[in-house]
C-alpha cells in the first residue's frame, strides 16, 4: 500500500524542478514516518537533477539533508516516538551484514545500499524519492536524532555537508593543536572550518579569494592563506598536519600537497571528478598521502549531531521556498550562497 504525497522534482535533464505527486509506502513495523520541516540543497541534488553523472532515472526528487518531526512510528520502533526532531541523510538502507556495515560504515556497504533518492526502492519497486517532499518513510536504523537545542533549519545541512566534513576529521584523528587546512569555503568548507575549530585545531582557511578572509575568520578560521600568494604558500610549505579539500571540481593538487608535513594527509571530499595531473614527487618527498572520504556511517552521523548539540554548531543557511529552487540551483552553481540553501518545506504543503 502507498500514500501519494506532494513533492518537487525534475522530469528530465533539461527540465526545471516542478510540483509532482509521488508514492510513499505505508508504515512497516520498523519504519518511522517523518513530516519534513526543512531540506538542505546539496550540490549533488543539482548533479542528479541535471544528470551530470549519467545515472539519473526520471522523474527524480532530490534532497538528502532532511530534518523533520516524527508523525508516526511502526509497532517495533524503539528509538523514536511521535514528535521527536529527527533527520535523514544520504542513505535510507544498506545490507547491514557485510564487513563494511558490520563496522558501521554503511556508506561503503558492499551489497545493496539505498541512497535517499535516485536509488532502487526495495519496498515499492521503482526508485527512491528524496526530501523535496512533504514527508518520508524510513527504517528507524537510518533515522538520526537531532538535538532539540539546535536550530532545525541549520541542522538540515549537517546530514550531508556536516557528516562529509566531520567524518574525515575524525577518521584521520584531527586533534587539539593540529594545524588543519580547509580548502574551499562553500557548504562543505564552512562546516569543515567550524568542526576543525571545535576539535581544537589551528584552522587555516585556504582560498583563492582574499574577499573571503573576514567570513572565514568569523566561522572559526585562525588564519587565511591565499593560495595564489606564492610567498605565503612557501612560508606554509610542509607544515600542515591535515588538509580537508572541499573543492567540488577537478583541480591541481600540487599547491596543496606542498603544504602537507611529513606523513600528513589531504582528503578529497568534493571532487568526484577527474583531477588534473599531479607530481608524484609531491607525495614521495615527505611520505604524504591523498585520500578520499564519503559522507559517514549512521553511528558516526549520530555522534556528529550529538557533538553539534553540545557545541551548538549548525550550518549557516539561507532559507528559501520550494518555488525558489530553480533560482537557488543557479546561485549554487555561482557559489552565491552563504553557505547552504535550506528549503522551508511548509512552502510545499
Which of these segments, 32-40, 133-141, 289-297, 330-338, binds a second copy (CB under 8 A)? 289-297
102 Cβ neighbours under 8 A, 6+ residues apart: none
In the three-class reduction of DSSP (H, G, I as helix; E, B as strand; rest coil), residue 252 is classed as coil
Cα pseudo-dihedral 19, 21, 27, 31, rounded to 10: -40
State the DSSP H helix or E strand holding residue 165, giving kind and residue range, or none if neither: helix 161-171
Which of these segments, 21-29, 44-52, 72-80, 266-274, binds a second copy (CB under 8 A)? 266-274
If binding is defined by CB under 8 A, does position 177 make contact with a second copy? no
For a second copy, the closer of residues 252 and 310 by Cβ is: 252
Cell numbers for 333: 552553481
Which of these segments, 43-51, 291-299, 312-320, 330-338, binds a second copy (CB under 8 A)? 291-299
Name beta bridge partners: 135.
Answer: 35
Number of other CB atoms surrounding residue 37 within 10 Å: 21
If binding is defined by CB under 8 A, does position 54 make contact with a second copy? no
Among 23, 25, 95, 108, binds a second copy (CB under 8 A): 108
State the DSSP H helix or E strand holding residue 46, giving kind and residue range, or none if neither: helix 43-49
For a second copy, the closer of residues 121 and 273 by Cβ is: 273
Residue pair 73/32 in contact by the 8 Å Cβ criterion: yes
Among 5, 10, 271, 314, binds a second copy (CB under 8 A): 271
Least separation in angstroms between CB 269 and a second copy: 7
Which of these segments, 149-157, 218-226, 286-294, 323-331, binds a second copy (CB under 8 A)? 286-294
For a second copy, the closer of residues 102 and 346 by Cβ is: 102
Q: What is the DSSP string of 73-127?
A: E-TT--S--TT-EEEE-SEEE--S-SHHHHTT-GGG-SS--EESSSSB-TTTSSB
Among 282, 323, 326, 347, binds a second copy (CB under 8 A): 282
Residue pair 282/257 in contact by the 8 Å Cβ criterion: yes
Least separation in angstroms between CB 10 and a second copy: 23
Among 18, 273, 316, 344, binds a second copy (CB under 8 A): 273
If binding is defined by CB under 8 A, does position 20 make contact with a second copy? no
For a second copy, the closer of residues 58 and 108 by Cβ is: 108
Among 123, 171, 222, 331, binds a second copy (CB under 8 A): 171
Which of these segments, 67-75, 187-195, 282-290, 339-347, binds a second copy (CB under 8 A)? 282-290
Q: How far apart are CA 105 and CA 294, in angstroms?
A: 10
Q: How far apart are CA 265 and CA 274, in angstroms?
A: 19
Site string for a second copy, 217-246 (x = CB under 8 A): ---------------------x--------
Least separation in angstroms between CB 276 and a second copy: 6
Name the nearest CA neighbour of 49 among 92, 7, 91: 7
Among 268, 320, 328, 342, binds a second copy (CB under 8 A): 268
Site string for a second copy, 134-163 (x = CB under 8 A): ------------------------------
**What are φ and ψ of residue 325, in 5° steps?**
-60, -40
DSSP 8-state symbol, 348: G
Q: How far apart are CA 108 and CA 229, in angstroms?
A: 38
If binding is defined by CB under 8 A, does position 21 make contact with a second copy? no
State the DSSP H helix or E strand holding residue 241, giving kind and residue range, or none if neither: strand 240-245
If binding is defined by CB under 8 A, does position 72 make contact with a second copy? no
Cell numbers for 332: 549554487
Cell numbers for 299: 553511528
For a second copy, the closer of residues 97 and 312 by Cβ is: 97
Binding site for a second copy (CB under 8 A): 99-100, 105, 108, 110, 171, 238, 250, 262, 265, 268-294
Amino acid at each position: 500500500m502507498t500514500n501519494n504525497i506532494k513533492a518537487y522534482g525534475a522530469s528530465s535533464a533539461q527540465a526545471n524542478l516542478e510540483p509532482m505527486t509521488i508514492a510513499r509506502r505505508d508504515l512497516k513495523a520498523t519504519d518511522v514516518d517523518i513530516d519534513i520541516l526543512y531540506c538542505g540543497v546539496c550540490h549533488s541534488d543539482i548533479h542528479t537533477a541535471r544528470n551530470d553523472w549519467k545515472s539519473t532515472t526520471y522523474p527524480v526528487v532530490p534532497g538528502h539533508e532532511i530534518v523533520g518531526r516524527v508523525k508516526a512510528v511502526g509497532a517495533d520502533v524503539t528509538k523514536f516516538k511521535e514528535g521527536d526532531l529527527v533527520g535523514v541523510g544520504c542513505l535510507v538502507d544498506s545490507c547491514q551484514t557485510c564487513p563494511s556495515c558490520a563496522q558501521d560504515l554503511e556508506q561503503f556497504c558492499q551489497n545493496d545500499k539505498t541512497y535517499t533518492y535516485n536509488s532502487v526502492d526495495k519496498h515499492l519497486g521503482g526508485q527512491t524519492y528524496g526530501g523535496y517532499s512533504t514527508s518520508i518513510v524510513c527504517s528507524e536504523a537510518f533515522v538520526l536524532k537531532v538535538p532539540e537545542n539546535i536550530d532545525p533549519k541549520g541542522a538540515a545541512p549537517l546530514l550531508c555537508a556536516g557528516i562529509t566534513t566531520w567524518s574525515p576529521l575524525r577518521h584521520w584523528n584531527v586533534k587539539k593543536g593540529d594545524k588543519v587546512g580547509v580548502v574551499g569555503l562553500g557548504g562543505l568548507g564552512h562546516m569543515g572550518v567550524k568542526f576543525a575549530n571545535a576539535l581544537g585545531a589551528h584552522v587555516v582557511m585556504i582560498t583563492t579569494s582574499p574577499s573571503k578572509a573576514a567570513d572565514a575568520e568569523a566561522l572559526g578560521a585562525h588564519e587565511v592563506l591565499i593560495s595564489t600568494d606564492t610567498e605565503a604558500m612557501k612560508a606554509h610549505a610542509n607544515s600542515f598536519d591535515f588538509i580537508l579539500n572541499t573543492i567540488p571540481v577537478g583541480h591541481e593538487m600540487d599547491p596543496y600537497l606542498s603544504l602537507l608535513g611529513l606523513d600528513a594527509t589531504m582528503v578529497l571530499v568534493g571532487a568526484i571528478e577527474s583531477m588534473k595531473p599531479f607530481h608524484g614527487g609531491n607525495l614521495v618527498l615527505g611520505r604524504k598521502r591523498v585520500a578520499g572520504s564519503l559522507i559517514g556511517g549512521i553511528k558516526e552521523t549520530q555522534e556528529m549531531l550529538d557533538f553539534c548539540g553540545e557545541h551548538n554548531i549548525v550550518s549557516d543557511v539561507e532559507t528559501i521556498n520550494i518555488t525558489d529552487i530553480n533560482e537557488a540551483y543557479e546561485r549554487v552553481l555561482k557559489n552565491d550562497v552563504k553557505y547552504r540553501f535550506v528549503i522551508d518545506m511548509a512552502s510545499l504543503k
